[in-house]
Amino acid sequence: NICDKNCYYCGIRKDQDLADPEHRPSRFTIPKRQIMDAAEHIMDRHWPGMLLQGGETPDEARVDWLADVCKSIITRADEKEQERPEAERREEPIRIILSSGELEKEQYAQLREAGASRYLLRIETSDHALYNTMHPEDHSWSRRLRALGDLRETGYQVGTGVLLGVPGQTDAHIARDVMFLRDFDVDMVGSGPYIPAEGTPMGDPYNLNPPITQEELMKKTRRFLAAVRLSCPTANIAATTAMEALWPNGRELAIRSGANVCMPVVTPQVYRDEYALYEGKAEVKGKESALWDTIRRLYD
Ligand code: SAH
Ligand code: SF4
């Protein structure tokens, strides 16, 4: 949860260190050993992928560290795959998906080389002007768009998406977001409702005067997911944790609307509590088996 950026909506933004003590996250990096334990959990279940997400820290040492983690996960997954009966083996024993923000193209290439094959970087909104209302001046929509292009050129499967229900966003914005995803020909979509984080520049005014009810936001997100499914028929569309934080069984509703990917959270609880991008995120438990049963049932 260490991040150099200051997105107005995010509970782990850099300046959150200056907020009231109750909203100040303790900064951490999950030690490699614990990431490997989480990877082992995923491999034991033969889940197809692992998403590693964190704040944006583009310095060389951090990227080197992340590359080393990716390599170790791939090596271990290859080993475990060899232990499986031949019929069960997969061509790609584990797919590593990264979500570490805007990095230099060479850094994306370094991580690709280390074994990561997908990258999730939300454009947050396809509207340049709306983007500017959600970020400080030194955050750039064009830079973000360029990063998405760099990722594609570096050979990643690229995932992107938007925040739904942010103040000032109209249905016309959302319609253009859907067309943006279609035109970019995304491989993966990660989009979800905006949920206020206390002590942030966007969260506090929102809480005082919520522009939309939770039920309306849930419905808006479902309509968006359905429109994206129709516009991007082959995309992997995530049923996000934010959907579950917003509404009971939110991820199931997302799957019923067009999403087809679910990512149980395997982060150790101590770190989950401090990775509070928004209110209620840490409380969304893996509920792995129930989630798995739901997906099976829906696909059957
Ligand atoms: N630092 C990386 C990855 C971590 S943030 C990045 O920004 O790309 C991952 C996503 O969390 C962001 O893209 C944003 O859309 C989402 N997020 C942040 N604050 C949120 C909030 N208050 N409500 C819902 N989603 C939020
Ligand atoms: Fe950092 Fe990502 Fe949060 Fe922005 S959304 S402050 S880049 S963690």
pLDDT at 115: 98
Q: What is the mean pLDDT of the chain?
A: 94
Whether ligand 1 lies within 6 angstroms of the CB of 247 is answered as: no
268 CA distance to ligand 1 centroid (A)? 19
**70 annotated as ligand-binding:** no
> CA–CA separation, 163 vs 195, rounded Å?
9
Q: Ligand 2 pocket test: pick from 29, 56, 202 the residue with the most ligand atoms within 8 Å of its Cβ.
A: 56
Q: pLDDT for 147-203, tens place per residue?
A: 999 999 999 999 999 999 999 999 999 999 999 999 999 999 999 999 999 999 999
List, in sequence order, every residue forming a beta bridge with 162; answer none if it has no partner: 124
Q: Is 197 in the pocket of ligand 1 (CB under 6 A)?
A: yes
Atom number of ligand 1 nearest to Cα 124: 15
Q: Is the CB of 10 under 6 A from ligand 2?
A: yes
CA angle 271-273-278, nearest 5°? Answer: 120
Per-residue pLDDT, 288: 66
Q: What digits encode the pLDDT tens for the residues 248-292?
A: 889 989 999 999 998 888 998 889 888 888 888 777 765 566 777
Q: How far apart are CA 23 and CA 234, in angstroms?
A: 40
Helix axis angle for 105-113 and 60-82, nearest 10°, is: 20
Model confidence band, residue 295 (pLDDT cutoffs 50, 70, 90) = confident
Q: What is the pLDDT of residues 32-56, one digit of tens each?
A: 999 999 999 999 999 999 999 999 9
Give the pLDDT confidence score for residue 289 in this predicted structure.
Answer: 66
Q: Does 134 or 283 have the greater pLDDT score?
A: 134
Task: Pick the ligand that lies closest to the CA of residue 17.
Answer: 2
pLDDT of residue 287: 58
Is the distance from the beta carbon of residue 93 to the nearest atom of ligand 1 less than 6 Å? Answer: no
**Which pLDDT score, from 0 to 100, does residue 278 have?**
86
Query: What is the pTM (predicted TM-score) of this model?
Result: 0.96
- In the prediction, which pLDDT does 298 show? 75
Nearest to 111 by CA among 64, 76, 77, 160: 64
For residue 87, is pLDDT > 70?
Answer: yes
DSSP string, 191-219: -EE----TTSTTHHHHHHS-SS-HHHHHH
- What pLDDT score does 179 carry? 98
Confidence of residue 294 (pLDDT cuts 50, 70, 90): confident
**C-beta 163 within 6 A of ligand 1:** yes
- Residue with the smallest CA separation from ligand 1 atom 11 is 277
Q: Give the Cα separation of 54 and 77 in Å (integer).
A: 22
Compute the distance from residue 10 Cα to the ligand 1 centre, in Å.
Answer: 6
The pLDDT value recorded for residue 281 is 77
Cα dihedral 293→223→229→47 (10° resolution): -30
Q: Among 2, 4, 7, say which to mutate for ligand 2: greatest number of ligand atoms within 8 Å of CB.
A: 7
232 marked ligand binding residue: no
**Nearest atom within ligand 1 for CA of residue 122:** 13
10 is in an annotated binding site: yes
More confident residue, 282 or 109: 109
Residue range 136-146, pLDDT digits in tens? 999 999 999 99
Residues 51-79: pLDDT tens digits?
999 999 999 999 999 999 999 999 999 99
Cα(289) to centroid of ligand 1, in Å? 26
The protein residue with its alpha carbon nearest to ligand 2, atom 4, reads: 7
Residue 147 corresponds to which amino acid? A
Q: Which helix (H) or strand (E) holds 98?
A: strand 95-99
pLDDT tens readout for residues 223-257: 999 999 999 999 999 999 999 999 988 998 999 99
Question: Mean pLDDT across the stretch 15-19?
Answer: 94
